[in-house]
Amino acid sequence: MPDTFNIFLVNEANSDDGWNDRIRGLVADRIRELFDIACKNSTKFGNSAASWSTSAPTVGTVADHELVLYFLQSKKRSKVVKEGGDQPTLAGATWQSTKGMISEVYVEDSWGDGQPGKLFGNLAFHEFMHNKLDAHATLRSMSDIHLQGGRGLALMPLNAGSTHTDDNMKFMRAALDRKIKQYLG
């Protein structure tokens, strides 16, 4: 029986502007929807699971191939910057630190779409594509996801209406079991 591909979502944003349990549930649903498509026809993974917590997972709870993403209030709270990376300029960032790959989305900087669950889910999947496909030092010889022909969720800017392409899913399916150490705060 195929395994479940686990995704860990860390909520470090506050609910002052509508970021609440209902929206986070919709975000997790969108992420599962996209990863379930990527898992389709995979020999190793049959489906995905996305779970929320308010703190980073502990060492030993995230398998080498699984993913972690931080939802932060704003770029001012960037873990990328805290760990020595450049100041982010877009709605999210993914960067390899000495402590592991950091993927983050900035809630305050991404509102304005009528379907925030889909928007934030699309942004998360985009950052996960960077995490698995081009941000790690051993993968830098590959093309940037923005340029490698993936279109769809590989291109910025994204919105709730952005859709995946067959290439987005093909590239992710091939990388699902790629081992990339995740940043655990």
Map out the domains of the chain with their CATH numbers: 3-175 (3.40.390)
Residue positions counted in the chain: 185
Whether 118 and 164 have beta carbons less than 8 Å apart is answered as no
- Contacts for 60 with CB less than 8 Å, ≥ 6 apart: none
DSSP 107-155: STTS---S-HHHHHHHHHHHHHHHHHHTSSGGGTTSPPTTTTT--GGGS
Q: What's the pLDDT score for residue 21?
A: 94
Phi, psi of 23 (to 5 degrees): -65, -45
Whether 59 and 72 have beta carbons less than 8 Å apart is answered as no
Tens of pLDDT, residues 93-142? 999 999 999 999 999 877 766 899 999 999 999 999 999 998 877 775 55
Residue 161: Cβ within 10 Å count:
11
Q: What's the pLDDT score for residue 140?
A: 59
Q: Which amino acid is at 171?
A: F
- The CA-atom distances, in angstroms, between 152 and each of 2, 22, 118, 163 are 27, 26, 14, 5
Tens of pLDDT, residues 135-172? 877 775 556 777 765 688 988 788 889 999 999 999 99
